[in-house]
Amino acid sequence: MSDELYQQAIVELARAAHGAGRLDNAKRRATVDNPLCGDRVTVEIILANDHVVNLRHTVKGCLLCKAAASILGLRAPGADSDALHANAAAVDAVLAGKPLPRNTWAEIASFQPVAQHKSRFDCVRLPFQAVRDALKE
C-alpha cells in the first residue's frame, strides 16, 4: 500500500472505528456497495428533531472506507441533516483537490492525499452516501 495514500491520520481513524456496530432500534438504515472493489457500508441512524442521536456503521471494506465511516461515527451524533449533507459535500471538495470548506469536520482533510487517486474516491464517499440514503427514508 502506498505510504502517500495511507497517511497516519487515515490509519488512526480506521483503527479507532468510531461508531462501529449495530443499532437495533434504528429507524433509518441504508446499505451501499462499491461493486468495483467490494466495499460495503451499512449506516443506521436514530434522529430526533432532525438531529442525529446515534449513528452506527458496519463496514466491510478498505482502510479508506473504514476511516470515512469512523469520521461519521465520531462527528455525526448531535449534527443535523444539513451538517451531514454539508460534510458529505466537503468530502467531494477535498477529493476534487479543493481546500476543506469552512465549518466542516476537520478530519475530512485527512483525505487530501486521496485526491491524487481517482480510483479510490468511491472508497471515501461510500459511508457518506449511505448517510445520504438513510436520510432520504
**pTM for the predicted model, two decimal places:** 0.93
H or E, element range at 131: helix 121-136
C-alpha cell read off for 40: 460495503
40 three-state secondary structure: strand
User: Per-residue pLDDT tens for 34-80?
Assistant: 988 899 999 999 999 999 999 999 999 999 999 999 999 999 999 99
> Sign of torsion, CA 47 22 18 33?
negative
**Band (1; pLDDT cuts 50, 70, 90):** very low
Torsion of CA 76, 72, 11, 91, to 10 degrees: -110
- Mean pLDDT of the 9-21 span: 96
**Topology annotation, domain 8-136:** Sufe protein. Chain: A (3.90.1010)
